[in-house]
Amino acid sequence: MKVISSLKEMTLFSKKASAKGSIIGFVPTMGYLHEGHLSLVRRAKKECNVVVVSIFVNPSQFGPKEDLAKYPRDLKRDLALLRPLGVDVVFYPQAKVMYPFGCAAYVDIGGNLTKKLCGAFRPVLFKGVTTIVAKLFNIVLPSKAYFGQKDAQQCVVLEKMVKDLNFPLQVVTLPTVREKDGLAMSSRNSYLAPDERKDAAVIYKSLMLARQMIKKGVRSSIKIKSAMIKELNTVKHIELQYISIVKAETLEDLKTLSGEIIIALALKIGKTRLIDNIRLKL
């Protein structure tokens, strides 16, 4: 497993691999890996000849009061997790290399996709995400890029970017990987104190409540969201940011549920912001 920090070296590696007919699978991460990331790597390994994993905590997607400085980092641990999976390259650039002139040029897909849900609370997030992912695509030159459904809005945004900007690759979205109590795996889970971690299980409980209501025929968005809020309020010290029920492809808000939908929420437990969602086809 090679560790590459140079942009030119990374691109040269990919060009040589492509010239030999290799299909390059790419898993972009911000490190501090967990089973969710590793599941993406395993799928890439099954479907591709060459697998590249990037580890880069992207400064352009963090607002001024967000957790860029304290975001968990442990390269040695990450490499130890990746090595047994047969990863070919870990791309590990520094910020000054990725942004030699600062965060001056951005990729912004526009429209409402990035302004709602998480975008309403983290206004620079998706502009930073689309910018860094576009840069990584141009450097790594993958055939397929793998993302987790936990970041549902991000997946929709990136699929639109790939389509609109004609990137010659496929975006592959894989199911959310969860802890035994249903909590979606996230690097930020490491921020939670023991009592907060216990309380966090209510997130998945609220989503399962919504699923059960839908199975019983409830189609009112207001009724489902009200029931979810009641469930979430069984736990103290939760600050709910949003619950949204939207069309899966467009993120358009739904009053009456139909078709393929995403039920998404974001909240804070203590100082830790967590997101989760489920995707259903009615």
- Hey, is 183 helix, strand or coil? coil
CA-angle at 218, arms to 212 and 219, nearest 5°: 120
46 residue type, one letter: K
Structure tokens of 154? 């991000």
What are the mean pLDDT values of the chain's consecutive 10-residue runs (282 residues total)? 98 98 98 98 98 97 93 97 98 96 84 94 95 98 98 97 97 98 97 96 98 98 98 94 97 97 97 97 96
Give the active site residue among 24, 31, 37, 199.
Answer: 37
Q: 37 catalytic, yes or no?
A: yes
The continuous run of DSSP H or E covering 118 comes out as helix 118-121
Phi and psi at residue 114, in whole multiples of 5°? -95, -5
**What mean pLDDT value characterizes the chain?**
96
pLDDT tens digit sequence for 234-266: 998 899 999 999 999 999 999 999 999 999 999
Residue 270 contacts residue 192 (beta carbons within 8 Å): yes
Model confidence, pTM: 0.96
Instruction: Tell me the domains of the chain and their CATH numbers.
Output: 2-174 (3.40.50.620), 187-277 (3.30.1300.10)
